[in-house]
Amino acid sequence: MIEGLNKIEVITIFAEDLAAARAFYEDVFGLEVVWSDEASAVVRLENLMINVLRADRADTLIEPRAVAGAEAGVRLLPTIAVDDVDAVHEQLKEHGVTILNGPTDRPWGRRTLAFTDPAGNVWEAAQILA
């Protein structure tokens, strides 16, 4: 085991349209932008930050691998704990957010909802069922 690999500080996601992705995280999630420049915008959640990075600027972070396009498939599914998935579902629809599936009761005791940001990154909202 390697010591110190037990806390996520930042998740970097790639977006072709930085302005649309930034607006999504500000308007839909209600997050504060804590740093930005022409290539990225960093927003803060309660326990970590999301760095929304222009896809065409990501190569140096992941070289020699390539940035895959949104059409390549889902590569990450961050889950956000919520109290009421149905209420979140309605609010996301009001913001014009693309809903992929749900709300659905899952056999592992969660009610979930999957949705995307403007760059095609998929998120899940999950409520613990009684």
- pLDDT at residue 96 in the model: 96
Question: Would the pTM count as exceeding 0.85?
Answer: no
Cis-peptide, bond into residue 118, ω within 30° of zero: no
Rounded Cα distance between 55 and 67, Å, is 7
- Output the CA angle 14-69-64, nearest 5 degrees: 75
Residue 27: DSSP 8-state: H
Q: What is the pLDDT of residue 61?
A: 87
The confidence score (pLDDT) of residue 73 equals: 83
Q: What is the pLDDT of residue 18?
A: 97
Query: According to the model, what pLDDT value does residue 2 have?
Result: 66
Ranges of residues in the chain with a pLDDT under 70 are 2
Please name each of the domains of the chain with its CATH number.
Answer: 10-128 (3.10.180.10)
d(CA 73, CA 113): 18
Helix (H, G, I), strand (E, B) or coil at 19: helix
Asked if residues 52 and 13 have their Cβ atoms less than 8 Å apart, the reply is yes
Return the closest-CA partner of residue 88 out of 19, 17, 28, 129.
28
